[in-house]
Amino acid sequence: MTDSNDPSGDAPNEAPDDTGGPQSVGPADGAPHVQVHAQYVKDLSFENPEAPHSLATQGKPPSIEVSVDVGARGLAPGQFEVELRITAHAAQEDKKAFVVEVQYAGVFSLHNVPESELKQVCLIECPRLLFPFARRIVADATRDGGFPPLLLEPIDFMALFRQSADNEAETDAGAPQA
């Protein structure tokens, strides 16, 4: 039986694109894209130095200080390990409630990315892909430590990159000339 809408009488196996050929499912040829090969925990630490006393005095929320750092290193041409480091210190009054530190990393291949943009992609786009997984690890660690889960706010990696670039520029401007 043939399809009355198909003039050839053959039903196509793939949907045609605008040119009549099969649709491609990936980035267009030559378009920049990031490929994730692996994601993993490099280091994870949770300290609850005042337990069980810190768990009994959870009436008032602790003050929490979070720091984030991103690093990247080349593994092979076009392939990089990007590491996201998150540290959170919590204190209740004058006592340390908990400290959680996670180093979460991924291996990425960058395809068709101009050399001038490699640093931005490694320090902005790759951490954006890693962050939701690192956020879950921080939340699970604090919950498993007896505290409510610490749900980190989304991070603007573009702003962190710009701040880092500004700090480097200030440092370079203040350095004596050789």
User: pLDDT digit of tens for each residue in the chain (178 aa)?
Assistant: 444 444 444 444 444 445 554 454 455 677 888 999 999 999 999 999 887 877 776 667 789 999 999 999 999 999 999 999 999 999 988 889 999 999 999 999 999 999 889 999 999 999 999 999 999 999 999 999 988 999 999 999 999 899 888 777 776 665 554 4
User: Is there a contact between 55 and 146 (Cβ–Cβ < 8 Å)?
Assistant: yes
Paired tokens of 127: 């951490």
φ, ψ at 138 (rounded to 5°): -60, -45
pLDDT, residue 27, reads 59
User: Is there a contact between 113 and 121 (Cβ–Cβ < 8 Å)?
Assistant: yes
Superfamily for domain range 38-149: SecB-like (3.10.420.10)
Domain positions in the chain: 38-149
**3-state SS assignment for residue 78:** coil
pTM: 0.76
